[in-house]
């Protein structure tokens, strides 16, 4: 269960933070070394569940491709660190991508280092020329583990990605005009399946401003908001 949660969180965060890239490539985020973000997560009742801090540690250019690394730290509602990880991004021309392998937290890999492990998937993509009604490519990550002859496969698919609309959103960090991107996050662990719709609010020049995850019936499960931004 913990594995599925971490993979789902990783894929969602990767999809959200793909909007954070170098100004050489992306119109959506002023991404330079030292740029930092803070996001606060809430449960369905609006109670704080934790915070995540993001910081760009390196941005390198190689021809027409820009590669960036972002360090990420997750804390629970008591301020206890849950885990640290980092993501690798690349940007070429009109497309920003994130490597699916970097979506799996390093702490998770360390925790299960005694198991045989294989990670497969497809990179998450986001074009610069977003428009209302636009459909985006699916993404997924699969983790196969084997220990003592016992195997367990965990898969998280991000499907039905599309740009729904534009609207203004207010968070503790300010008020922003955003694209609203909808997706469905389908997970499978062994025979257990789940499907959680999600929306991300994305502002040009700022990045992800807000994210919500819902139950299958549309009821809110959790949300995340941009609470600090510094560059």
> May I ask the CATH architecture of the domain 2-230?
Beta Barrel (2.40)
Q: Dig out the tokens for 217 from the structure.
A: 């019936």
Give, for all 231 residues of the chain, the pLDDT tens digit: 444 444 454 555 555 554 444 344 667 766 678 888 899 999 999 999 999 998 989 888 888 888 888 888 989 888 888 878 887 777 777 877 777 666 565 555 556 667 777 888 888 888 888 999 999 999 888 888 887 777 888 888 889 999 999 999 999 999 999 999 999 988 887 778 888 899 999 988 788 899 999 998 899 999 999 999 988
0.85 exceeded by pTM: no
């Amino acid at each position: 269960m913990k594995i599925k949660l971490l993979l789902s969180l990783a894929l969602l965060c990767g999809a959200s933070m793909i909007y954070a890239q170098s100004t050489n490539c992306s119109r959506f985020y002023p991404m330079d070394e030292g740029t930092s973000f803070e996001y606060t997560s809430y449960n369905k009742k609006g109670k704080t569940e934790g915070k995540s801090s993001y910081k760009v540690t390196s941005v390198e250019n190689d021809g027409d491709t820009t590669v960036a690394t972002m360090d990420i730290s997750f804390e629970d509602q008591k301020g206890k660190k849950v885990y640290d990880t980092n993501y690798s991004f690349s940007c070429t021309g009109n497309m920003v991508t994130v490597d699916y392998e970097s979506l799996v937290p390093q702490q998770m890999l360390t925790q299960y280092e005694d198991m045989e492990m294989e990670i497969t998937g497809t990179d998450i993509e986001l074009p610069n020329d977003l428009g209302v009604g636009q459909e985006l490519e699916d993404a997924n990550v699969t983790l196969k583990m084997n220990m003592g002859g016992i195997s367990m496969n965990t898969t998280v698919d991000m499907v039905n990605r599309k740009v729904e609309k534009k609207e203004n959103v207010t968070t503790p960090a300010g008020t922003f005009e955003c694209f609203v991107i909808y997706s469905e996050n389908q997970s499978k662990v062994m025979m257990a399946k789940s499907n959680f719709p999600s929306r991300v609010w994305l502002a040009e020049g700022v990045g992800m401003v807000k994210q919500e995850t819902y139950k299958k019936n549309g009821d809110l499960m959790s949300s995340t908001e941009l609470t600090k931004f510094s560059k």
